[in-house]
Amino acid sequence: MSVDLSGAKWFKSRHSQPSGDCVEVAFVDGGVGVRDSKDPTGPALVFAPGKWDAFTAAVKENEFTWPA
């Protein structure tokens, strides 16, 4: 999936620590971008909106365990 992220408005969770290792998310036409906050000019992953919704729903339902 190719989406233009040049004008994206990136944000972190309000639970992020100022000096912590975080991911940033941007909602754009056609997808949801995810990138490493320490490398804002580096690569970003882009997910289809439905896939992002499924992922965030699974997180809210605590469907992931660590370590796997």
Spans of all domains in the chain: 8-14+21-68
Q: What is the pLDDT of residue 1?
A: 64
Separation CA 49–CA 4 (nearest Å) = 15
Whether 68 has a pLDDT exceeding 70, the answer reads: no
pLDDT one-digit tens code per residue, 24-46: 999 998 899 999 988 989 999 99
Whether 63 has a pLDDT exceeding 90, the answer reads: no
Name the band, by pLDDT with cuts 50, 70 and 90, for residue 13: confident
- Spatial CB neighbours of 46, under 8 Å, sequence gap ≥ 6: 1, 2, 3, 5, 31, 32, 33, 34
